[in-house]
Structure formats: structure tokens, C-alpha cells
Amino acid sequence: MGVILREKNLSKGGVSFYLDINHNGKRWYEFLKILAYGNRRSEEFTEKKKLAETARSTREYRLTVEQLGMKDKTIKEKDFFEFLLEKAALMKSPRQAKYCITLLKDYTGQESLAMTELTVSFLQGFQTFLVKRKLHVNNCSGIVQYMSTAINKAVSDGYMSENPFPKVWKNHKFRIIKSTPKFLSIEQIEHLTKTGQGVHDEIKLAFFLCCFCGIRWVDCYALKWNQIANQEIDGKSYPTLFVEQEKTKLGVYIPLSEQAISIFKQRKEMAKDETPSSFVFPYLCSSPDYATNYARMAFGMKKWQKQSGIHVHFHKARHTFATLTLSQGADLYTVSKLLGHSDIKNTMIYARVVDRLKVQAISNLPTIKSDLLMKSDDAPKENPKSQKTKSKQKPRKGKAA
């Protein structure tokens, strides 16, 4: 076994320190994200190299401890449940952490779970437990992915030496099944406009807006008026919405349709009788706690669903926008950019929905019940008298009979 500290020269000068690891017959590299610039004899360069050397010796120690099956005394004891809740408090929604903890408590029968208990065999057993609970494979995959991300964070915080998930048997890993997204037709949207008594108007307008511009709830609830501006395209000015997506951190410009512009105008008219606000939907972001805002919206959507008889959730508006634009002739690349997808593969799922609509449209074409080709028995017969007249005709002069 060996852990060697190496340097990689950077194109803009300076070096990046990384570890060259040879362990149990395998060799791999780990970059330390420690960069050093300037003169090698400078104090800053020397300190960065000392830091990298400390990381090297720590990594070598932990590999040795793992190989010998010893207890790593440098790892601080930490309850995994407590750790998950601490990290969840910093996120937009803590629901997934709480759900994960509930499942882990059911599996272990314990109210706490030490980090040291998160071994390969433990994780294999937990995944088998998820299968026996008959959870959907996508649900299982999401839980496992969330746990793996949390463990990676625990490793970087010094609570664990490594993430054991990569060593889990392949037959214990879950593959996501891509389901066809559900969307609303124009008729269903029109039906929703006639229902929703008692549901806050801002919830309904925000949902309809997303049906015609495709943004997510997380980008809609705190939308500001200054995100709407005119953009010059081919010498013409078009109202455009700019959104820096919370999920991907990518900025996307969305030209607004007449329907979307109408929704903004309606909201502006409503705002005249309200306390001035920079937010388009101040009711949706009235609480500083994201979870509270989301819960209020979800409650309103459930109420709306019960009245309308149509299954609605906020993300369905995004699916609706993608399907409507594709069915109206927009190409896949354009829709991908409108949705702000970083990879066009994420948009392909909507193309399958449109293909299904094409099949449905073709199957609804009328059919002709009678035979398309006339049978020989049904062919009109010539008049016998006309045949005799033709036979008596004399040939013209100069032509053979």
C-alpha cells in the first residue's frame, strides 16, 4: 500500500495537489482541491504543501485502519439521524430527511444510528428491507441516492472515512424507471378556471402561469416583477421572463405567450388594492420558511383537485407546458432551452408523450366501411346494341381492315 503526494501543473500557473493511491492491488487518484501559486519558496506555497501532506498522511492512516479492521480513533462519533436533520435544516425542504430517518428507524428498531454502523452489509440489508416494503423502485432509488449524498458530506466533515455505497452489490442497487409525465389538456385547464372556490387566487394564477411558461414552483413562488423585461429579437421587442433556476443554477430567458402576458396583467390589476411588493405572488412567499410556503400551496392544490375532479400538482404545470409546445410544432431543442434543461435527454421524455398523442390522433380517424376496390362482378356491363353497331362499322379508306 502506498499514498504518494503529487503535483499537477495548472495552465494558468501554480500547481494542484493530488494523491496517487495504490491499495489492495488497485490504483487511483484523489484530487485534494488544494491549489498553490507563486514562488515555491514563498510562505503561502509552503503552507499549502504542508496542508496537502497532512491530507496524505490522514488518507494513508485511514486506509491502514480499514485494511487491518481497527477502529479509527480520528473519526468523531456522530448520530446519523442527528446529522441528517442538521443538514436538512439548511435545505429547502426537510421532508426527505425525515422520511429517510423513519425508514431507518423501522429497519433498525433504534432511535439513534452511529455513523460507524453504516457498513456495506448494513446498507445491503437496508436496501433489501426497502424491497420487502414494496416501495416503488424510483422511491427506493431516491432514498438510496439521498443517503449516499449525505454520507459523502459526512466523509468531507470528518465523521466517516469513506462512503461504503460503491461497494454494495449490484443486485442491491436500484435503477430508475422513467415514467411518462402526466399533463393537462386545454379543456382540462379551462375546466380548472371554473373551479377552485376557496383556493387563494395567487395559487391558481401561479399554476396557470407555469402551464404557459414552464417554470418550476421553486422558481415561481418568489418571482419578482423586475424579472420581466422586453428583449430585442430580430429588431422586434418581446416581453421575456428571466429565471435563474434554483435546481440547476442556470439562467434561462423565456419569451412570454399572450396567455402568460394576460396572467401577469391580471395579477398586476389585483395588486393595485394590495400592499406594494416587489414579488409577483407575495402570498406564496409570505413566510421566511420555505416548507411553510410549500405546505400552504400543496393544501390549496389538494382542495382544488377535490373540487375539479382533476388530479393536479404544481409540477404538472411544467409537464403541460412542455407537451403543449411540442404538440404545437416546436422542436425538441427549443423546448429543452425553454425548460432550462442542461441535457436534451431530459426533454426526450416529453417527445414520447407527443408520439402517444399522434398515435391517438391517427386512431381517431374515420374509416370507410365499404370495400375500397370494386369487384369484377360489380363492374358495369356494356350495352349489347352498342357492340353490334361497332362491329358493322366499315374501315376507313387507306387503312387496313
The answer to whether 31 and 51 are in contact (CB under 8 A) is no
- Cα separation, 104 vs 23, in Å, equals 32
pTM score: 0.61
> For 237-288, how does the pLDDT look when each residue is reduced to its tens digit (9 = 90+)?
999 999 998 888 888 999 999 999 999 999 999 999 999 999 999 999 998 8
Dihedral class, residue 285 (left if φ above 0, else alpha if ψ from -120 to 50, else beta): alpha
Asked whether residue 393 is assigned to any structural domain, the reply reads no
Measured CA to CA, the distance from residue 313 to residue 137 in angstroms comes to 21
- Which residues neighbour 254 within 8 Å (Cβ) at sequence distance 6 or greater? 213, 214, 215, 240, 241, 242, 243, 338
Same domain for 214 and 246, yes or no, is yes
Rounded to whole angstroms, how far apart are CA atoms 309 and 288?
32
More confident residue, 178 or 109: 109
Same domain for 312 and 248 = yes
User: In terms of domains, do 10 and 104 share one?
Assistant: no
Q: What is the pLDDT of residue 321?
A: 94
Start-to-end Cα distance in the chain = 110
Residues 282 and 234 in one domain: yes
Q: Do 22 and 45 reside in the same domain of the chain?
A: yes
User: Is residue 202 located within the same domain as residue 332?
Assistant: yes
Higher pLDDT, 369 or 50: 50
Answer whether 112's CB lies under 8 Å from 81's CB: yes
- By three-state DSSP, how is residue 221 classified? coil
Is residue 289 located within the same domain as residue 226?
Answer: yes
Tell me which residue of 163, 57, 149 sits closest to 115, measured CA to CA: 163
pLDDT at 199 exceeding the cut of 80: yes
111 domain residue, yes or no = yes
pLDDT of the residue at 370: 76
Angle formed at CA 367 by CA 361 and CA 369, multiple of 5 degrees: 165
Q: Are residues 113 and 27 in the same domain?
A: no
Residue that terminates a domain, selected from 68, 94, 126: 68
Residues 159 and 205 in one domain: no
The whole-number average pLDDT for the span 99-116 is 90
Q: Which of 10, 45, 68 is the last residue of a domain?
A: 68
> 370: exposed, middle or buried (C-beta count within 10 Å: 0-12, 13-18, 19+)?
exposed
157, 196: one domain: no
Query: 43 and 96 share a domain?
Result: no
235 in any annotated domain:
yes
Is 204 inside any structural domain?
yes
Cα–Cα distances in angstroms (integers) from residue 24 to residues 2, 3, 29, 120, in the given order: 10, 12, 14, 17
Q: How confident is the model at residue 172 (pLDDT cuts 50, 70, 90)?
A: low
How would you write 28-63 as a 3-class SS string?
A: EEEEEEEEECCCCCCHHHHHHHHHHHHHHHHHHHHH
All three cell numbers of 255 = 419569451
Query: What is the spatial distance between Cα 326 and Cα 214, in angstroms, rounded to a whole number?
Result: 12
373 found inside a domain: no
**pLDDT over 60 at 367, yes or no:** yes
Give me the mean pLDDT over the 365-388 stretch. 67
The rounded distance, in Å, linking the Cα atoms of 37 and 15 is 7
pLDDT of residue 401: 42
* Residue 128 confidence (pLDDT) above 80: yes
Domain assignment of residue 315, yes or no: yes
The last residue of one of the domains, among 126, 145, 172, is 172
Report the candidate in 325, 51, 296, 354 with the shortest Cα–Cα distance to residue 213: 325
272-329 pLDDT tens trace: 999 999 999 999 999 888 878 888 999 999 999 999 999 999 999 999 999 999 888 8
**Cell numbers of 96, please?**
426527505
- Tens of pLDDT, residues 29-57: 888 888 888 888 888 888 888 888 888 88
Per-residue pLDDT tens over the stretch 181-190: 889 999 999 9
What DSSP designation does 381 have? P
Q: Which residue has the higher pLDDT, 253 or 62?
A: 253
CA–CA distance, 369 with 375 (Å, rounded to integer): 15
- Calpha distance 36→8 (Å, rounded): 10
- Per-residue pLDDT, 271: 93
Write out the residue range of the structural domain in which residue 20 sits: 2-68
For residue 107, the model assigns a pLDDT of 92
For residue 253, tell me if it sits in a domain. yes
CATH of the domain at 192: 1.10.443.10
Cell of 65: 485502519
> Does residue 167 lie within any of the structural domains?
yes
Mean pLDDT of the chain, nearest integer: 84
User: What domain count does the chain have?
Assistant: 3
Helix 290-308 and helix 186-193, axial crossing angle in degrees, nearest 10: 100
Which helix (H) or strand (E) segment holds residue 349: the answer is helix 348-363
Residues 278 and 305 in one domain: yes
Q: Is 56 exposed, middle or buried (0-12, 13-18, 19+ CB in 10 A)?
A: buried
